[in-house]
Amino acid sequence: MTEHSWGHRLRTAVRNRGRLCVGIDPHPPLLDAWGLPRTADGVARFSDICVEAFGGEVAVVKPQVAFFEAYGSAGFAVLERTVAALREAGTLVVSDAKRGDIGSTMSAYAQAWLGDGSPLVSDAVTVSPYLGFGALDPAVTLAGETGRGLFVLARTSNPEGGGLQQSLTAGGPSVAQSIVDAAVAQNRDGNDTIGLVVGATRGHGLDLSEFTGPILAPGLGAQGATVRDLADIFEGSRELLLPNTSRDVLKAGPTVSALRAAALRVRDEVETGLA
């Protein structure tokens, strides 16, 4: 594993600041609760508070791209500033964009989120493999070259995903397991460029015994998953397990001190529960 690889950088961040990944999800009801307008300016103020509260305090922050995209170019400008400010503070950023396409289009998505010099460049990005895992090759290649990472949707936290993700492929394993197996193969270089998204709200039914990369586990808190659930569901896969919480922390806003305290409380609960 090289010093500049995604796996090395993530392990360093987790060692220094714990496993928790906090979301920045400025959805309209939260803007209302914080007394902010449902505008790009409201999203900007929301994001500035989150950056001040989380930057340099937690290992990973995950902005949900859709809530910025909803405001068009002004929203994307806020997202660019938010990502840059978090990274400058030393916090790793996983942009939750769930991009997935083929050929030159996938290459363009990869450049947008992983390319040096891009205004949206993040430390990692979520991607969808449901046009075929091989269609992600441009992003896999660029992530490896730039020392950044991918989180590939495998077994998501929403109940609607089960019918597709648990269905069997022609070769026998489930669709979700085939994604895990492909990620294992890609990570054999030791850099753990490929991570997985595996929901924490139910048993995933996956064999993760050969997977050494990071696992982004949404569902902690408002979606119902507890720290005890994490310990049970991900037994044997805890080193780079990144439990993700958004609303459970964000409801503590809008003051920076309360927001930071909520994030650190959950972080410490996670570290104790997964020790």
Just list the catalytic residues: 98
In sequence order, which residues have a C-beta less than 8 Å from that of residue 92 and are 6 or more positions away? 9, 10, 13, 59, 60, 61, 123, 124
Backbone dihedral angles phi then psi of residue 48, each to the nearest 5 degrees:
-60, -40
Q: How far is residue 125's CA from residue 162's CA, in Å, rounded to a whole number?
A: 22
Q: How far is residue 179's CA from residue 165's CA, in Å, rounded to a whole number?
A: 9
User: Could you tell me the two tokens for 82?
Assistant: 């938010």
CB-based contact 122:80 (threshold 8 Å): no
User: Could you tell me the two tokens for 170?
Assistant: 């022609």
3-state secondary structure of 88: helix
3-state secondary structure 230-266: HHHHCCCCCCCEEEEECHHHHCCCCCHHHHHHHHHHH
